[in-house]
Structure 1
Amino acid sequence: MPQLSLITGADPTRTLDALFVNAPLRDYDKRPRTNDYTLPVLGMAYIATYAKEVCGFNVGVLDAEAHGLGIAETAKLVNAAQPRWAAMNLLAPTYEMSARIAAGLSPDIALMVGGHHAKAMPDRVLADPRMVNLRALVLGEGELRVAALLEDEQRRRELPGVLWRDRLLGTRAAGIADPRTSSQMLGPDINTLPYVNRAFLPQDPCRAAPTGTDRRLAVSRGTDLLTQAARTGHLEANIVGSRGCPYNCAFCGAAVSANPDVTIRVRDPEDIIGELEQLHAEYGVTAFRFVDDLFLGASRVIKTQMAAFTRHGIGERYVWDATGRINVLDRLDNTELERLVSNGLREVALGIESGSDRILSAMDKRIDAEMTERVARRLVEHGIGVKGYFILGFPGETHEDIRATVRHIRNLWSIADSNPGDVRASVFEFRPYPGTPVWKTLTDAGHAPDKLLAYGDIDLTADGADESMRQRDEFSFSVGIQFGDVPLGEVRSTLATLTREQHERNQATKEAAA
């Protein structure tokens, strides 16, 4: 029997209006999942929450990735649940998984899709014969338009940014927008959206094991909360503080050139704090991770948010992590950094990407390696951890560029070793995403889209035997193309070496704190 209990947030006594399906990253019928945790599908949960709490629909989420479900099992479960609609978030690396699930769905179930891949390649998706049940492709933010589709499929004709395939003519059809409501439909007021119903997220909040940053903070800041967290970890929840990004990093699906329809909006600090308080009251959450593109991405926003955090004493009760922009943080003075510390900032995730200024320029990062080192040093001196993201194998990258990145990472580790804040390095192999600036560069240079879309998973874990690689299962994808001067085997061996070194650093910190 299908495990209907894996569907979260739905009322089993009522007809299911929609089942939101997060496809697995790979077919786990063929190789079991090795990572223990996957990032929650907050965007999907936002849409499900709006449909349920504002419009009264009975909806559920099936996170096949979180549950480690295979393709056949996922399709079987959706069919057994018998929703009126199945809704899928299409991402380039998992598109094949989604399409295979869609092909296995009962013809009685209408299909709607959205997500980065649907937005970047709508005609390709609409023409895919496996998407025969596809009745609506939603471009961009979906809360209001998905709810309208659940109310009446025929409303798609009046909804902006909704596409479908005319079955008689075989052509693409699109909703004709009402100019009076179009902007609100495409970009809802994020301060009026209900807080995400965590019933839709099977792994959020979750108990996180203590990290090196937690242990260092317990020593440097010394509060009861941090001392306890260093022993048992925090109960953590993910949260979104803004939508949109003003930057145009060449590899990023959130690049402004790929999302001209997205208006950059920041939630009111009182609305954010209300969600923090609600999560603490309901679940006991004491740590939060802001996963939007750039929570610490504009000086004006940082000042406004921190003023509110100070008024509410957030740093006295909680810690939080956030994404940040290196060139913005570089302009903050020491007083502003100290205010971040006093307000509970634990760690900043930075897109460092490379130690080569030549590659950083090609990526349009608007930073250089010296700036990164300066910012990282100031952060760890203040006891703020840094999680740096790095890309190896970017188009045009040379052996010297990769060596510069390796030196850069090890130099940042060395800086952290003499300061209260930690530096964690997370290294990825470059893969192209449709709609991004670099995608156009590659296709203009003659790369065939079909080959650029041929994502395959790479098992760096040796079937789970290599403990240092276990949590990388979620991120190890490749299209198998050498884009720079460095062979893929060398790119991957460098990635594995750095990942193992980071794992050894984590273990050493853990043992030192024991």
Structure 2
Amino acid sequence: MNATAGTGRGKIFLIELSPAVPNLGKFIVMPRFGLLAIASVLSDRTDYDVSLLFEPYVGKIDVDTIARKEPQYILINGLTTTADQNESFISSLRDRMGGSVAVIAGGEHATMFPEDAKRYADYILAYEADDTAVPLLSALEEGDPETRESLLSQIPGLHYRDLSGTWRFNRDPARVDRIDYRYDFSIVPGAESAARRFRQAYMPLQTSRGCRYGCSFCTWISLYGKTGYCVRPAEDVLHDIVHTIEYTGVRNFVVADNLFAGDAAYTEDLMHRIIRTFEGRDDKPLFTVLCRADQFTGKAGSLSEKTIRAMAKGGVSNVCLGLESINSRSLLQMRKKSDLQTYHAAAECLRRNGIGFAGTFVAGFDGDTYEDVVNIAEFGERIGLYTVQVYARGIMPGTVDDILSTHRNIPGRLDKYVNGHTVNIFPTRMLPSDLQQGIFEAAFRFHDREDRKAALNAFRVIWRAIRPHQEALLRIEREILVPEGIYTSSGPGFALNEKALQAVAEDEDAYGSFAKRCRTIFLEAERMEPPGDARVVLAPAIA
């Protein structure tokens, strides 16, 4: 890797815009770890003047202010919900600067939906960019066009235009050999006062990358390009914890690993390092981590009580368990390799060790009924979760679900509403709008008590924000899905007619017309005023 890329002090802005339509992440103040990691890499290994702009820290990012700084490069990241905002922002910036700035897109949305990112980006760095961002900038500094194109053609995961203007993609991804970065908050304006300014200030932290499992819906392989699980050097993790606390005052960390504690020996060593480092200090860190339930059952392959006690002592205050479903058929379909007995065992283990635990669920698999979705609330109470987060099943590029069921995606949806909470697929055992309502009914039922009021209010805000999407689903059902037999009456509700949907998907003209009509409805719903009463009407569920 070129450690001295860049000539002079050309300005680089890394920009993260806040989505217009909220998800649960809206209710904590936390920059995304990917952009923070890449910003730190560029600050450490190049001589560019690097700044990461995070809107909650710096306020609304103003195009004119950015243009006056005359940046050489803009690196922009974001979820699908900010894709349109990214395009609008970059278009305005280019108008101000006369097209003189090179724009590089990366992250989840750009990796999985590069055609969208091509609307505003000159280059797209897919997959992990730790080892490719600096070589890309070095190549762009090359003055000879043919030499520059040759260098670009050798960067794994890069989308770029060749000399003829044709987009090329270096398809073969290269997983990083070593996760090699350390946070540098001096390049993040506003970070120094984060803890003082924001009651809900958190920081992301990474201890590992990848996963040892392959659930059918999970996007991690798509995002990294290849399988594999590796841990980050413990000394680098410890640096980020200490640097975060001492520079920003933030002590609450969300560990962004796909699978925390996938390497038990490493985890135990890291926890003991944290314990020693913060012994006698009042600013000990607190961690929320994502784990599987079967890591806490006491069976072969699960974490030992010794390791779990070390986690608790080292500051792991909350474990977010990826439970996904309470329906055995759906668990089998998503290749979760788990069951309700495992969930109960994990809950008992974590309770015994004084660690709080939440549950995330993915609703909309083929086994799920409306009652299954709503009854997540009752199940969460029964095993002692402190919160439940029910997300809608998404069928994303490169996943197992995409290979088997890509025709089940609802066409024409608006990117701004793809926030994890909205339904964008055709479920099997209920209408899309019923699944949408069930997801929020579960959240409202679980959090409808005094000590969970903050979470209840957050879900209410999200529900109101996605109402145009829900209204569009209802209209698509009334005008297309039911009249044309894609959904048929089944008992008290409706069920998907898979053959009818497959017939439409396989007929290019029919599907084009179907997609166009759906898109029109989504756009028209977006322009309408939402209904005055946006509350979910709670229906009786089967306990």
TM-score normalised to structure 1 length: 0.71
Structure 2 counterpart of 1:488, from 432, 455, 461: 432
Name the CA distance, whole Å, in 2 between partners of 1:47 and 1:435. Answer: 24
Correspondence for 1:270: 235
- In the other structure, the counterpart of 1:227 is none
SS at match of 2:310: helix
Q: Residue 107 of structure 2 is aligned with which of 109, 115, 120?
A: 115
User: Who is 2:204 aligned against?
Assistant: 238
Instruction: Report the Cα distance in structure 2 between the residues aligned to 1:74 and 1:476, rounded to whole angstroms.
Output: 29
* Aligned mates of 2:374, 2:422 — CA distance in 1: 22
SS in 1 for 2:427: coil
| Structure 1: distance between partners of 2:101 and 2:162 | 18
Structure 1 partner of 2:73: 85
After superposition, the Cα gap between the structure-2 partners of 1:377 and 1:204, relative to the gap in structure 1 and judged at 3 Å, is: farther
1:357 and 1:368 in contact (8 A); partners too: yes
1:324 matched to which residue of 2?
A: 291
Q: 218, 226, 229: which is aligned to 1:252?
A: 218
Partners of 1:74 and 1:325 in 2: how far apart?
42
Work out which of the residue numbers 230, 244, 247 in structure 2 matches 1:279. 244
1:361 match: secondary structure: helix
Equivalents in 2 of 1:372, 1:337: separation in Å?
Answer: 16
What's 1:507 paired with?
Answer: 451
* Structure 1 residue identity aligned to 2:330: I
In the TM superposition, residue 38 of structure 1 has moved relative to its aligned partner by 4.4
Specify the SS of the correspondent of 1:244. Answer: strand
**SS state at 1:143 partner:** coil
**Alignment counterpart, residue 438 of structure 1, candidates 390, 401, 417:** 401
Q: Which moved more, 1:19-28 or 1:350-359?
A: 19-28
Partner deviation per Cα, 1:64-107 (whole Å, 9 max, x = no partner): 477675xxx76555444431112222533433332333333311
Go from structure 1 to structure 2 and tell me whether the alpha carbon gap of 1:49 and 1:26 turns closer, same or farther (over 3 Å shift).
Answer: same
Indicate if the aligned counterparts of 2:51 and 2:189 stay in contact, CA closer than 8 A. Answer: no
Q: After TM superposition, give the deviation of residue 207 of structure 1 in Å.
A: 4.0
- Flag the 1:339–1:407 CA change in 2: closer, same or farther, 3 A: same
Residues 1:63 and 2:54 are matched in the alignment: yes
Q: Per-residue displacement from partner, 1:404-444 (whole Å, max 9, x unpaired)?
A: 534422322xxx3xxxxx6221222333322222222222x
CA distance in 1, matches of 2:374, 2:409: 30
Matching residue of 1:497: 441
Distance in 1, matches of 2:124 and 2:107, equals 9
| Residues 25 and 65 in structure 1, CA contact (< 8 A), matched pair in contact too | no
Structure 2 partner of 1:164: 160
Distance 2:92 2:134 in 1: 25
AA in 1 matched with 2:215:
C
Q: Conserved in 2, the CA contact under 8 Å of 1:18 and 1:150?
A: no
Q: 1:44 Cα shift?
A: 0.7
Task: Find the aligned partners of 2:192 and 2:246 in 1 and give their Cα distance.
Answer: 15
The CA distance in 2 between the partners of 1:110 and 1:378, in whole Å, is 52
1:187 is aligned to: 176
Q: Which whole-Å deviations, capped at 9, do the CAs of 1:319-352 have from their partners, x for residues lacking one? A: 3221212222222343433332222221011111
User: What is the RMSD of the two structures over their aligned residues, measured on CA atoms?
Assistant: 3.7
Q: Which of 17, 31, 39 is the aligned partner of 1:23?
A: 17
Shift of 1:16: 4.9
Distance 1:233 1:61, change over 3 A: closer
Flag structure 1 segments of 5+ consecutive residues without an equivalent. Answer: 1-13, 210-231, 417-421, 459-473
Could you say which residue in structure 2 is the equivalent of 1:361?
A: 332
Paired with 2:170 and 2:25, the residues of 1 have a C-alpha distance of: 42
Question: Are the structure 2 counterparts of residues 233 and 160 from structure 1 closer, same or farther at C-alpha, using a change threshold of 3 Å?
Answer: closer
Match of 2:31 in 1: 40
Superposition deviation, residue 35 in structure 1: 4.4
Q: 1:426 aligns with which of 381, 389, 406?
A: 389
Percent identity, aligned pairs only? 20
1:15 Cα deviation (Å)?
A: 6.2
Residue in 1 aligned with 2:517? Answer: none
- Decide whether aligned partners of structure 1 residues 114 and 508 sit closer, same or farther in structure 2, where only a CA change above 3 A counts: closer
Q: Any idea what SS the aligned residue of 2:259 has?
A: coil
More divergent stretch after superposition (41-50 vs 258-267): 258-267
Correspondence for 2:471: none
What amino acid is the match of 1:371?
T
Q: Verify the 8 A CA contact 2:159 2:170 in the aligned structure 1.
A: yes
> 1:110-509 counterparts in 2 under 5 A?
110-122=102-114, 124-125=115-116, 128=118, 130-131=119-120, 134-153=121-140, 154=148, 155-166=151-162, 168=164, 170-174=165-169, 187=176, 189-190=178-179, 192-197=180-185, 199-200=187-188, 202=190, 206-207=194-195, 236-254=202-220, 256=221, 259-261=224-226, 263-312=228-277, 317-330=284-297, 331-395=302-366, 397-412=368-383, 416=384, 423-443=386-406, 446-447=407-408, 450-451=411-412, 454-457=414-417, 476-479=421-424, 481-505=425-449, 507=451
Q: Which moved more, 1:238-247 or 1:113-122?
A: 113-122
**Retained in 2: the 8 A contact 1:388–1:426?**
yes
Change in CA separation of 1:144 and 1:342 when aligned onto 2, cut-off 3 Å: closer
TM-score norm. by structure 2 comes to 0.68
**TM-superposition CA deviations, 1:29-74 (whole Å, max 9, x none):** xxxx9945344122111111111222121122233477675xxx76
Cα separation, 2, equivalents of 1:327 and 1:44: 31
Q: Distance in 1 between matches of 2:10 and 2:423?
A: 37
Letter in 2 for 1:397: D
| In 2, Cα distance between equivalents of 1:390 and 1:262 | 23
